[in-house]
């Protein structure tokens, strides 16, 4: 089970199922990748900017000392 919260007005609130939210993702997820088939029905889709893989590669080339870490924001219950 997942507890989904959104940051609004400086604090986290539970997801409101009657509210419309904007979501940012890459094309892979938006097209159903990794099992996210619910995004395939997205409306008002707007593609802009460079490919995510190119952005990550450029960042890693510029800042090679980057080490990924777990921020502790996602927890399984």
Average pLDDT for the chain: 83
Provide, rounded to the nearest whole percent, the portion of the chain with pLDDT above 70: 99
Cβ atoms 39, 23 nearer than 8 A: yes
pLDDT, residue 13, reads: 92
pLDDT, residue 22, reads: 82
pLDDT, mean of residues 37-54: 81
Distance CA 33, CA 40 (A): 9
On whether the pTM is more than 0.75, the answer is no
Task: Give which of 18, 19, 38, 20 is closest to 29, Cα–Cα.
Answer: 38
Report CA torsion sign: 16, 24, 45, 27. Answer: negative
pLDDT, mean of residues 17-44: 84
Comparison of pLDDT for 48 and 11, the residue scoring more: 11
pLDDT, residue 1, reads: 54
Task: Give which of 55, 61, 66 is closest to 24, Cα–Cα.
Answer: 55
């Amino acid at each position: 089970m997942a507890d989904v919260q959104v940051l609004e007005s400086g604090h986290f609130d539970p997801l409101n199922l009657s509210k419309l939210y904007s979501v940012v993702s890459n094309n892979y997820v938006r097209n159903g990748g990794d099992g996210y088939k619910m995004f395939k029905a997205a409306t008002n889709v707007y593609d802009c900017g460079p490919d995510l893989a190119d952005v990550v590669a450029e960042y890693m080339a510029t800042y090679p000392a980057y080490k990924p870490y777990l921020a502790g924001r996602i927890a399984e219950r």
